[in-house]
């Protein structure tokens, strides 16, 4: 069982390790021949760390952007949006997608530098799936994972095949970063502890139109609060007097978002489209009267 997670966070939700942030990053950069920056596909900008990226590049080490949790987004839309991130590999550990490509990319970057057996440092925000990426590359659960952020607590070497050594790290933040809204969305701050759950839930609805509504089967409204109210009513989340409990509805959404259960609507739509095409095909196969 995992214990002691909270030694990583103060009650204010800060990360005491922040003082050690650069020490950790520098250590990983020094040890590694190739660096992976793992990013959450649903929140690319919020889970990138420009300072770390320029530090890695400044040290002359190759950086590969690993966009994880691709099962939760419309990948084609995302691919166009982040063409400038290069080299970039899209993966999903739950769907085992993109890992041959990732292994190849690691070896290509290493071989460019005449390194046959690269050591690969895996950096990224808490909860983006660093340990899961390592496990999927390896094909077994060597690095422990958890839906709780801040789970991996120290550097850990994991051998992948005969030629690659991965270095798992605890999630790291930009120095002095205090973007609470992003922390709620990325799961760094637990849904139960979010200060303004309704604002965070509405941000998800704004940035990923239709995803929350599609999940709960409610209508979309310009005013997100109306949608939250409908979700509360549908789920029977009521305050005394029968009013919808917006706060609980919003926390529910955040919990499902952090767990990766709410997907972008485009994905749902593409499934719907597949089904429509399937039924149309069946219809057209019926003998005409």
Ligand X SMILES: Nc1nc2c(ncn2[C@@H]2O[C@H](COP(=O)(O)OP(=O)(O)OP(=O)(O)O)[C@@H](O)[C@H]2O)c(=O)[nH]1
Q: Please identify, among the stretches 1-9, 108-116, 127-135, 275-283, the one whose residues bind Mg ion according to the rule CB under 5 A.
A: 127-135
156 binds ligand X (CB under 6 A): no
Q: Which residues pair with 122 in a beta bridge?
A: 36
**What element of type H or E holds 122?**
strand 119-124
72 binds ligand X (CB under 6 A): yes
183 binds ligand X (CB under 6 A): no
The answer to whether residues 119 and 169 touch, using CB atoms and an 8 Å cutoff, is no
The answer to whether residues 111 and 24 touch, using CB atoms and an 8 Å cutoff, is no
Q: Which residues contact 181 (CB under 8 A, 6 or more apart)?
A: 199, 200, 203
CB of 223 to ligand X, least distance (A): 29
Nearest-angstrom CA–CA distance, 213 and 229: 12
- Which is nearer to Mg ion, 131 or 252 (by Cβ)? 131
128 binds ligand X (CB under 6 A): yes
Nearest-angstrom CA–CA distance, 82 and 212: 24
Candidate residues 98, 118, 126, 214; the one interacting with ligand X per rule CB under 6 A:
126
CB of 91 to ligand X, least distance (A): 7
Q: Tell which positions 148-177 bind Mg ion, by CB under 5 A.
A: 152
131 binds Mg ion (CB under 5 A): yes
152 binds ligand X (CB under 6 A): yes
- Tell me the two tokens of residue 74: 């419309």
The answer to whether residues 68 and 128 touch, using CB atoms and an 8 Å cutoff, is yes
Candidate residues 140, 146, 270, 277; the one interacting with ligand X per rule CB under 6 A:
146
> Which of Mg ion, ligand X, none does residue 260 bind to, with CB < 5 to 8 Å depending on kind?
ligand X
């Amino acid at each position: 069982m995992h214990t002691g997670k909270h030694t990583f966070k103060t009650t204010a939700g800060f990360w005491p390790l922040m003082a050690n942030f650069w020490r950790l990053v520098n250590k990983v950069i020094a040890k590694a021949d190739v660096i992976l920056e793992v990013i959450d596909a649903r929140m690319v900008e919020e889970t990138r760390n420009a300072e770390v990226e320029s530090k890695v590049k400044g040290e002359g080490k190759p950086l590969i952007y690993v966009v994880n949790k691709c099962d939760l987004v419309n990948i084609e839309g995302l691919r166009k949006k982040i063409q400038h991130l290069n080299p970039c590999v899209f993966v999903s550990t739950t769907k085992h997608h993109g890992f041959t490509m990732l292994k190849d990319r690691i070896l290509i970057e290493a071989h460019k530098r005449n390194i046959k057996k690269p050591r690969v440092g895996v950096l990224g925000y808490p909860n983006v799936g660093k340990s899961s990426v390592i496990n999927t590359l390896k094909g077994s659960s060597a690095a422990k994972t958890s839906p709780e952020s801040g789970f991996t607590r120290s550097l850990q070497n994991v051998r992948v095949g005969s030629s690659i050594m991965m270095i798992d790290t605890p999630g790291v933040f930009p120095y002095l970063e205090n973007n609470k809204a992003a922390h709620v969305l990325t799961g760094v701050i637990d849904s139960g502890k979010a200060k303004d759950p309704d604002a965070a839930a509405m941000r998800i609805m704004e940035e990923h139109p239709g995803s929350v509504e599609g999940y709960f089967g409610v209508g979309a409204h310009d005013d997100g609060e109306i949608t939250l109210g409908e979700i509360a009513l549908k789920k029977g989340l009521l305050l005394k007097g029968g009013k919808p409990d917006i706060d609980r509805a919003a926390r529910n959404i955040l919990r499902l978002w952090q767990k990766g259960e709410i997907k972008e609507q485009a994905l749902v739509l593409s499934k719907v489209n597949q089904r429509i095409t399937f039924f149309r095909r069946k219809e057209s196969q019926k003998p005409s009267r």
